[in-house]
Structure 1
Amino acid sequence: MSVTVKTAKEIFDQVLNGEELFILDVRNTDDFKDWKIEGKQIKYLNVPYFDLIDGVEEIMDQIPKDKEIIVVCAKEGSSKMVAEMLSDKGLATSYLKGGMKSWSEYLYKKEVYKDDKMTVFQFVRVGKGCLSYMVVSGEEALIVDPSRFTEIYKKAAEDEDVKITHIVDSHLHADHISGGRVLAEETGANYYLMKSEGAVFDFKALENYNKIDFEQVSLEVIAIKTPGHTPGSVSFFVNDKLLFSGDTIFVSGLGRPDLGGKAREWAKDLYDTVYNKVSQITDDVIVLPSHYADFEDEVNRAGYIGETLGEIRKQNEIMSNQSIEDFVEHVAQSASSETPPNFEEIIGINRGVEKAAEEKQQELEIGPNRCAVHHTH
C-alpha cells in the first residue's frame, strides 16, 4: 500500500469533525508528553524513532489493523520512514507533512462576529493555542496580536478588499514571536504597543491613546490598561460589544503574572484589573482572548474560542467573591507550573533587542502555550 501525506490542515479538520484517529508519535517520550496533537477522539502510541530503526515488528500488536495510522515526528523525516515500514506490512498509513513544526505553524480563520459596523475574524493557531484577530470596518482593518506569519493577515485583508491600517499587541508576548512590527513595515499600518513593555523600536505608545478610531468612527477601540499578565498588558473594548482580553482573561482562566519573577506583586495588579476594571463591563460582552488551553473544551457552539463575560465569571470562582489575599495565593500557587519554553529569548526578540533567523524562530516557538492560570473553576 502507498503512504499518504497529510497536512496539518487535513489532520485538524479531522479533529474538528470529531473523527477517531490513531497517531503513532515517534518523537522521544519527553517531547511527546510535553506537547502533542490534541483531541478527545485520538488514540496515541508513542514509540521513539530510535526504537524502530530495525523494524516495526515489536509494535505490530499495538497497532490497529482496521484504521489509518498517522505517523508524526518533529520535522517529517522519521515519520515518513516509519510510515513506509508500516505500509510494507500492509497497513494504511500516512505521515504529517512537515512534522510537528508544521502543526505549530498552522492557522485557520473563523468569522466570530458581524454587524452593520464591523466584521471580526479569529485566527486560531492550533498547535500553540494562540489567537489573533482582524477587525474589518469599511475599507480598513485592524489586526490584534498577530503571529509572525504576516502573509496570512495580508491575504485575509485582500480577500475582504480592505487595507490593514492599525495593528495592536495587547502585551509583549512570551510564548510566540509577534508579527506586529514586520506586518506594520509591510503594510504601512500604525503599530501600537504599551511603552512600558520596553520595546526599543518605533511604535505608537498605547499610553497616549484612550481609543483608536477608523472608518467614520464606526469602530471604536478603547484600550483599558489591564496589568496582570505583564505590567503593560492591555485589553481592547470594541463598540461596547467585544473585549479583546489579551492574556488577562481567558475562557477557562486568567493570565499568569509570574513571568517577570514578581508573581505576588503582579497578582495584586491582576486582582485590581479583574475586580475594579473588568467588573465594570456588562455580562453580555463577548470576551475574545489571545490564548486557549484546550480547543475542544473552550471552542463554543459557533466554532470559535470566546465566551460572554458573564459565563466566564460563572465558570471561574476566582473572578468573584475572592479576597485579595486568597486571590494572590491562588495565582502564586499556579505560577509554580512550567514557564513557556525559551520565553526570555522570545521576549527579547519581541522587544527588539535580539534577532533570530527564520529557522531559529521556528525552534524557539516549538512547544505548548503556557501563559495561563487555567481551569480555575
Structure 2
Amino acid sequence: MANEVTAQQIAEKVWNKESAFILDVRNESDFADWKIEGENLEYLNVPYFELIDGIEPILDKLPKNQDIFVVCAKEGSSKMVADMLEEAGVQASYLKGGMKSWSEYLRQTKVYEDSNMTVYQFVRIGKGCLSYMVISDGEALVVDPSRFVDQYVEVAKEAGAVITHVVDSHLHADHISGGILLSEKTGAAYYLMKSEGAVFDFNPLENYETIEFNQVKLEVLAVKTPGHTPGSVSFFVNDTLLFSGDTIFVSGLGRPDLGNKVREWANDLYETVSSKVSQIADDVIVLPGHYADLDEELNKQGYVGSTLGDIRKRNENMFQTTKEEFLHHVEQSASSVKPPNFEDIVALNRGERTADTERMQELEIGPNRCAVHHTD
C-alpha cells in the first residue's frame, strides 16, 4: 500500500524549492488549467483511466531517485495509481484529499515584528491568496481572511490575543471570504466598503480614516484605492506596512476588468497609483492580497512582499508613465478569462446567497486569476 502525503508536506517542498516529481492523473484540461506549481517540480500528466489496465506504459517516464507524488481531484484515483506503482516496485505517495486539500491549505509565516506589533502572513498556496494577522498587546486584527477561520482563532490564542477587528480590502471574486464568519465566531468588528454592495451588517470603511486598537495605538489607515473593484482599499499600518489588497502586487497591479468597465476602472487605478500611492515612501513594505508566481514573488525573508520602492522599479511602465500609456497598457492586458465561478463567489461574499461547505469547495477549486494583470 502506498503512503499518503499531506498538502502541508508538499507545500514545504515547494516553499523550500526542493525537487519532486508530480504524477497528475486528472484530465488533461484540468491539469492545464491548474496544478501544483513549484520551481523544482517535474510533471507527468496521464489521466487515471489510461492506467486502469496497468501502469507499465509510464514506468520508463518516472524518475528512479526522486520523490513521486500522485495527485488527483479528491484522492481516490491517485491512491489507486500509487498502489499500483508500489506493487510494481516504484516508491510513490498520493496526496491526501487530492487537489481539494491543496486548494485549502494555509501556510503561516511571520513577516514583521517590532515593539508594537507582530504580523503574520497566511499563504493559501494552492490559490495564491494571502491574508494577514496583526497582533498587538493581546488584541489582533485580521486582513482578508479565508473561510478557514479556526486557524486564525488558534494563532491568536497561541499568541495570547483576542481577534477584535476583521477587515476585507474588497469584495473577493476568486475565493469565499471568512470575514463575516470570523466576526461572528469571535465577536470582532467587521469592516468593508459600503460601495461593494454587501447586504449583511458591517462597519462601512467609508466612515473610517483610521481603525485604532490598544494602548500602543496601532493605526490602520484606510487608504481608498479603487481600481480592482470600485470599493478596493489598502491599509497603511504605522507608516511601515501597506496591506495593498488587490491594488498593488509585487509584480503588477490588480486587474480592473472584472466588472466589464475596463477603461473606467483603469482610470481609477491610474489615479490611485499616480496620486495616493505616489505619496507613500519607498521603504514601506507592501503586503498584497494575492500573488501569481510564488517563485518570482517570494522574497529572501520567506514571505510574499516587497518594498514599494522595489515594486516601483520592477514595474516602471505602470508607475512611471503617462495616463494614456497606462490606460492603453491596462486595456491590452485585460483578460477575457475570469476567476472560475466568480459570479457565484461574489454573490456569496455579498451575502446574497448561501452555500454549504461542499458547495464552497467546488466553487473555489481552480487557480487565482485576480493577479493576472502584470507588467512584463
1:345 aligned residue:
344
Displacement of 1:295 in angstroms is: 1.0
SS of residue paired to 1:95? strand
Structure 1 Cα separation of the partners of residues 35 and 67 of structure 2: 18
Supply the AA of the counterpart residue of 1:16: W
Q: Does 1:18 align with 2:17?
A: yes
Q: How does 1:268-287 map to 2 (within 5 A)?
A: 268-287=267-286
Displacement of 1:61 in angstroms is: 1.7
SS of residue paired to 2:49? helix
Structure 1, residues 44-85: CA drift from partner, whole Å, max 9, x if none?
A: 000011111111111112112333321000000000000011
Q: How does 1:1-377 map to 2 (within 5 A)?
A: 2-377=1-376
Structure 1 Cα separation of the partners of residues 249 and 67 of structure 2: 35
Structure 1, residues 274-322: CA drift from partner, whole Å, max 9, x if none?
A: 0010000000000000000111210111100010000000000233331
Q: Which runs of 5+ in 1 are unaligned?
A: none
Structure 2 Cα separation of the partners of residues 355 and 326 of structure 1: 42
Displacement of 1:336 in angstroms is: 2.2
Structure 2 Cα separation of the partners of residues 321 and 351 of structure 1: 35
Contact 1:293-1:374 at 8 Å conserved across structures: no
Supply the AA of the counterpart residue of 2:317: I
Contact 1:67-1:92 at 8 Å conserved across structures: no
Supply the AA of the counterpart residue of 1:183: L
Supply the AA of the counterpart residue of 2:69: I
Supply the AA of the counterpart residue of 1:188: G
Q: Which runs of 4+ in 1 moved over 3 A?
A: none
Displacement of 1:337 in angstroms is: 4.2
Supply the AA of the counterpart residue of 1:39: G
Contact 1:300-1:307 at 8 Å conserved across structures: yes
Structure 2 Cα separation of the partners of residues 188 and 275 of structure 1: 38
SS of residue paired to 2:313? helix
Structure 2 Cα separation of the partners of residues 149 and 110 of structure 1: 16
Supply the AA of the counterpart residue of 2:152: Y
Structure 2 Cα separation of the partners of residues 17 and 52 of structure 1: 32
Displacement of 1:345 in angstroms is: 0.4
Structure 1, residues 320-356: CA drift from partner, whole Å, max 9, x if none?
A: 3311111111111211241100000000000000111
SS of residue paired to 1:177? coil
Displacement of 1:86 in angstroms is: 0.7
Q: Which runs of 5+ in 2 are unaligned?
A: none
Structure 2 Cα separation of the partners of residues 226 and 207 of structure 1: 12
Structure 1, residues 257-277: CA drift from partner, whole Å, max 9, x if none?
A: 111110111000000000010
Structure 2 Cα separation of the partners of residues 269 and 141 of structure 1: 31
Deviates more, 1:60-69 or 1:178-187: 60-69
SS of residue paired to 2:23? strand
Contact 1:253-1:374 at 8 Å conserved across structures: yes
Structure 2 Cα separation of the partners of residues 194 and 284 of structure 1: 27
Q: Report the number of matched residues.
A: 376
Structure 1, residues 205-233: CA drift from partner, whole Å, max 9, x if none?
A: 00000000000252000001000000000
Contact 2:334-2:373 at 8 Å conserved across structures: no
Displacement of 1:373 in angstroms is: 4.1
SS of residue paired to 1:372? coil
SS of residue paired to 2:358? helix
SS of residue paired to 1:240? coil
Supply the AA of the counterpart residue of 1:182: L
Displacement of 1:374 in angstroms is: 4.0
CA RMSD in angstroms comes to 0.9
Structure 2 Cα separation of the partners of residues 336 and 108 of structure 1: 29
Contact 2:228-2:255 at 8 Å conserved across structures: yes
Supply the AA of the counterpart residue of 2:2: V
SS of residue paired to 1:360? helix
Structure 1 Cα separation of the partners of residues 288 and 102 of structure 2: 21
Structure 2 Cα separation of the partners of residues 227 and 141 of structure 1: 26
Structure 2 Cα separation of the partners of residues 67 and 276 of structure 1: 51
Q: TM-score, normalised by structure 1?
A: 0.98
% identical aligned pairs: 68
SS of residue paired to 1:153? helix
Structure 1, residues 132-181: CA drift from partner, whole Å, max 9, x if none?
A: 00000111000000000000100010010101000000000000000000
Supply the AA of the counterpart residue of 1:150: V
